Amino acid sequence: MPDTDSIPTAPGGGLVPLPLSIDGPGRGTVRLGPDTALAAAPGTEDTAHWLRATLGAAFGLPLPPGPGEAADTVALALDPALPAEGYRLAADPRWGVRITGGGPAGVFWGAQTLRQLLGPHAFRRAPLAPGQAAVLPPQTIEDGPRFAWRGMLLDVARHFLPKDGVLRCLDLLAAHKLNVLHLHLTDDQGWRIEIKRHPKLTGTGAWRERTKTGHRASPLWDERPHGGYYTQDDIREIVAYAARRHITVVPEIDIPGHSQAAIAAYPELGNTDVIDTTALKVWDTWGVNPNVLAPTDTTLRFYEQVLDEVLALFPSPFVHLGGDECPKDQWKASAAAQARIAELSLAGEDELQSWFVRHFDRWLADRGRRLIGWDEILEGGLAEGAAVSSWRGYAGGVAAAKSGHDVVMCPEQQVYLDHRQHASPDEPVPIGFVRTLEDVYRFEPVPPELTADQAAHILGTQANAWTEVMDSQQRLDYQVFPRLAAFAEVAWSRLPASADRDYQDFTRRMTVHYARLDALGVDYRPPGGPHPWQKRPGVLGRPIDGAPPNV
């Protein structure tokens, strides 16, 4: 979509996500210029810093400190009568702009709204012309989120995204009022976080010799070694950068499945009485891997040591431990695993996995943290206090909520952004069901069969970006956007029931939002289909025909 010099005059200026209420716009304009001051009450300093770095750069504004009651001022303040993430934005030519939040996060989300109201140029890093005006229509906006957990999973294990790409992702989440980055740090194809006590996790586990191109059935290979990892200082920087944007980074260390990279680095972690684990390398293809962790005390102690370092880096109250797609064949064949089942009087391999998860649930709880895992952790009995990421559909989340456990809804049939966006053969590496922009916009995170008390256990929702076939930032952009904008509105706004949502209004607002994405350099999928350079002819995918099941 082309950029535009015009300032939107429609109510809300084409805001995405849609606010709770908009009073205006009124007559005239509010103009921010070289004399406009920025007044930051205690508790709003991070937002003031962000405004100077973004709006100051985009329009060449110094935004010096000034008194909050003066004219021509952007004033930031707190009002505990508002919800913690709620805000009120009032723009008036008589004084300028006032953003009041229930807490520091609310002020920040109000500042994001101000940026949108100032037009696409507010998303650039330098002014396009000297003296370019920063103007918006007079109006008052009252707003606040529907869900506390508004997240996106970023898989950096399958294809590594360098640190600057993660920081860019955090900026894009913040621009859409999303507040959780679920960072999938380990898998069969790579280990992406430095653990000082176990250096071979990155020395060996962060690199694979080659990579399958496209779906696992594809005959194509990228013969270049692929890898990379974040040092502990990189992680500290990512977490601090996120915190200034009121985003929580939730780390995921996947156990007991999806662990071949760790076993390749430390063969004693695998089922050594079943296979020769010393022959394993970091996996170079995709799918469900049979090589899983051994349920031994050695493995437990190893991952406790890993998590000791993870907890020191991530202040998130939740730690994601995966628990998904763990084939039990090696445990069935392992004398050591069968002996552990007998020792613990377990009913079988499912309960053995439950024992494994429960161990770390207690371990995390003793350190003031909470375990969250994929819905397979329900099998064999859910660990007390654990929360569930419901990915295989709604059913796992419904069962967990009815049992009193907290849930993040992220069903693959609805909000897996690696799934294709159109049935056209031009879609690059088509995976899964067709999930259009409208499909995502009509996604409803709360299943209707839950009572009000049960629905209160739905912490929120999350869109997942698995990167098996996303081997660059461009590919990631294409799969994630513009659908993440629709998802953000589902997570933030109090929309009507799915069938009653005004998708036409959303698409009208998106015509403005595309220009913002252009200014940010996002290589999104255009509404009319992929650009020629976005296609990947000849790379095999795995499209699934028909509508996805509602399970």
Q: How far apart are CA 281 and CA 270, in angstroms?
A: 12
Q: Is 176 a catalytic residue?
A: no
Q: Do 417 and 477 touch, CB atoms closer than 8 A?
A: no
- 538 φ/ψ sector (left φ>0, alpha ψ -120 to 50, else beta): left
Mean pLDDT of 431-446: 98
**Is the pLDDT at 9 greater than 50, yes or no?**
no
What is the Cα 184 distance to its own chain's centre?
A: 10
Residue for token pair 């860019």 = 168
**2: confidence class by pLDDT, cuts 50, 70, 90:** very low
> Catalytic: which of 187, 252, 439, 468?
187
Q: Is 187 a catalytic residue?
A: yes
Alpha-carbon separation of residue 277 from 58, 60, 290 (angstroms): 54, 59, 12
Average pLDDT, the chain: 96
The closest of 341, 339, 338, 303 to 323, measured between CA atoms, is 303
Q: How far apart are CA 152 and CA 252, in angstroms?
A: 13
Least confident of 127-136, 330-339, 470-479: 127-136
State which amino acid sits at residue 67.
P
**Is the pLDDT at 4 greater than 90, yes or no?**
no
**380: confidence class by pLDDT, cuts 50, 70, 90:** confident
What is the predicted pLDDT for the residue at 407? 98
The closest of 350, 473, 345, 468 to 416, measured between CA atoms, is 468
Q: How far apart are CA 153 and CA 460, in angstroms?
A: 13
**Is the pLDDT at 1 greater than 60, yes or no?**
no
What is the predicted pLDDT for the residue at 6? 35
**131: confidence class by pLDDT, cuts 50, 70, 90:** confident
What is the predicted pLDDT for the residue at 406? 97
> Catalytic: which of 226, 258, 320, 405?
258
How does pLDDT run across 68-105, given as a tens digit for each residue?
888 999 999 999 999 999 999 999 999 999 999 999 99
The closest of 187, 199, 276 to 226, measured between CA atoms, is 187
What is the predicted pLDDT for the residue at 465? 98
Q: Do 515 and 1 touch, CB atoms closer than 8 A?
A: yes
> Catalytic: which of 92, 324, 325, 351?
325
Distant-in-sequence, close-in-space partners of 278: CB < 8 Å, separation ≥ 6: 267
What is the predicted pLDDT for the residue at 379? 87
What is the predicted pLDDT for the residue at 26? 85
What is the predicted pLDDT for the residue at 12? 52
Q: How far apart are CA 279 and CA 148, in angstroms?
A: 45
What is the predicted pLDDT for the residue at 191? 99
Q: Do 150 and 460 touch, CB atoms closer than 8 A?
A: yes
**Is the pLDDT at 441 greater than 90, yes or no?**
yes
Mean pLDDT of 395-410: 97
The closest of 211, 202, 216 to 158, measured between CA atoms, is 211
Alpha-carbon separation of residue 526 from 2, 402, 442, 537 (angstroms): 11, 41, 20, 18
**Is the pLDDT at 5 greater than 60, yes or no?**
no
How does pLDDT run across 505-514, given as a tens digit for each residue?
999 999 999 9
Residue for token pair 């869900």 = 147
How does pLDDT run across 87-97, given as a tens digit for each residue?
999 999 999 99
Percent of the chain with pLDDT strictly greater than 90: 94
What is the predicted pLDDT for the residue at 132? 82
End-to-end CA distance of the chain: 37
Q: How far apart are CA 215 and CA 539, in angstroms?
A: 8
Residue for token pair 């790409």 = 165
Residue for token pair 């037009």 = 119
